[in-house]
Amino acid sequence: MFPTHRPRRLRSSSTLRRMVAETTVTANDLIYPLFAVPGSGVAKEVSSMPGVYQLSIDKIVEEAKEVYDLGIPAIILFGIPDDKDTDATGAWHDCGIVQKATEAVKQAVPDLVTIVDTCLCEYTSHGHCGYLQTGDLSGRVLNDPTLELLKKTAVSQANAGADIIAPSGMMDGFVGAIREGLDGAGFEDIPILSYAAKYASAYYGPFRDAAESTPQFGDRRTYQMDPANGREAIKEIELDIAEGADMLMVKPALAYMDVIWRVKEASNLPVAAYNVSGEYAMVKAAALNGWIDEERVVLETMTSFKRSGADLILTYHAKDVARWLP
């Protein structure tokens, strides 16, 4: 007996496959991360992330124009300051590197959505995402004092023109605190993209080279989530939603697609997936060796993020993806 049902009937030509495709990736789905450093004319490639650069503000502006011209709607900015201290002064100072970069980008490309990462780890001398008890070498960040600094940081970023605030430090209550800070300063209309389910992941290694934010001692396991936990992600997003988050992020993406799916099912908010530095580095390394077809692997991965429920994808491949899309 030959089969009656033949799914292959709908795979017989590329036009037919296009008609029945359930998932599409477009440039509108992409967010491109950029790393701002002091100086001018600086473009320093990150050794573990080929094609990704630390850029001075003049170069960030050039890059922002290119990104916008490619049809990518948004960037997310990270800053690497000249000086770091225990109060993370560079994070919340009005003349901070990210504040200046934000102003420059908004002036040059006003329609490009400028998201700013709101965390302290790039600005603290010890590299942790918050305040530590003096002399504490365990890396056990003090939660509530950190909230005050995050509030200040978010308000200064909004003052600089940030369109979206993206807190990434996984402090309890950080969305509520930042919402309160923004509202109190008259920024009721600035959305919060919460890094809601962010895991303590080895995949952040190359980012820490790029952002010079490796913890000097201890690790981030007392604030970022344990990779063993999926249900806990739902607890995290429920809290963030209750505190006023406008969008939710799952990070990393590739090894956490089940979490992306669960978060999508459990909420009505836009879901973003962060295709992190280590995921990028692995693809780049294999591609540079000629071991995989970079374009096909990257487009397949982006499609899979969308299929698993991501509405938005933060990715270092964004410019390439925009060029490769049909």
State yes or no: residue 157 binds ligand PBG (CB under 6 A): no
CA dist., res. 79 & res. 60, Å (int):
11
State yes or no: residue 52 binds Zn ion (CB under 5 A): no
Q: Nearest-CB residue to ligand PBG? A: 207
Choose the stretch contacting Zn ion; rule: CB under 5 A; options: 12-20, 43-51, 121-129, 225-233: 121-129
Cα within 13 Å of Cα(306), Cβ side: 16
State yes or no: residue 318 binds ligand PBG (CB under 6 A): no
- Contact positions with Zn ion (CB under 5 A) in 168-197: 169
Nearest to 42 by CA among 56, 53, 28, 52: 56
| Token couple for 58 | 């003049």
| Token couple for 308 | 């698993």
To ligand PBG, the closest distance from the beta carbon of 116 in angstroms equals: 11
Report what 207 binds from ligand PBG, Zn ion, none; CB cut-off 5-8 Å by kind: ligand PBG
Of 174 and 204, the one with the shorter C-beta distance to ligand PBG is: 204
CA dist., res. 143 & res. 215, Å (int):
17
C-alpha distances (whole Å) from 154 to each of 20, 74, 178 are 43, 18, 7
- Which 8-state DSSP code applies to residue 254? G
Strand partners, 37: 56
Of 65 and 208, the one with the shorter C-beta distance to ligand PBG is: 208
Q: What is the residue type of 62?
A: E
CA dist., res. 27 & res. 295, Å (int):
15
Contact residue for ligand PBG among 56, 99, 153, 277 (CB under 6 A) = 277
Q: Active-site residue numbers? A: 198, 251
Choose the stretch contacting Zn ion; rule: CB under 5 A; options: 9-17, 73-81, 92-100, 120-128: 120-128
Contact residue for ligand PBG among 55, 147, 171, 276 (CB under 6 A) = 276
Which positions ≥6 away from 158 have C-beta within 8 Å?
165, 182, 185, 187, 190
**Which residues here bind ligand PBG, judged by CB under 6 A?**
117, 119, 121, 129, 168-169, 204, 207-208, 220, 276-277
